[in-house]
Amino acid sequence: MPTPIDRAMQSRNAFLGFAGIITAVAAWTIWGPSDIFPKESDPTGEPETWTRSELRRWLNARGLFPNESATKEALLERVKANMRAPRS
């Protein structure tokens, strides 16, 4: 004699409900508000001690897209110039 659990497992509605939950979770994971790869925070300390990639990240975060071939000294100069400038 089938139990209520057996009848529920054979039900089409249970399958469609389960598929709906899986679809909703997948959609939330893909388009949800949480970041899977959160942005790195701004580097701290003096810019002279930052690496070339940290200088580039700081400039990119402010929309000051640095040149790919820029030297560390050129990047440092741009960072210092924009740190002193008032933000709008």
Contact 78, 66 (CB under 8 A): yes
Q: What's residue 31's pLDDT? A: 82
Residues 29-74 pLDDT 10s: 888 776 667 778 889 899 999 999 999 999 998 999 889 999 999 9
d(CA 70, CA 58): 14
pTM of the model: 0.55
Identify the band that residue 4 occupies on the pLDDT scale cut at 50, 70 and 90.
Answer: confident
**29 burial class (0-12, 13-18, 19+ CB within 10 angstroms)?**
exposed
d(CA 30, CA 34): 9
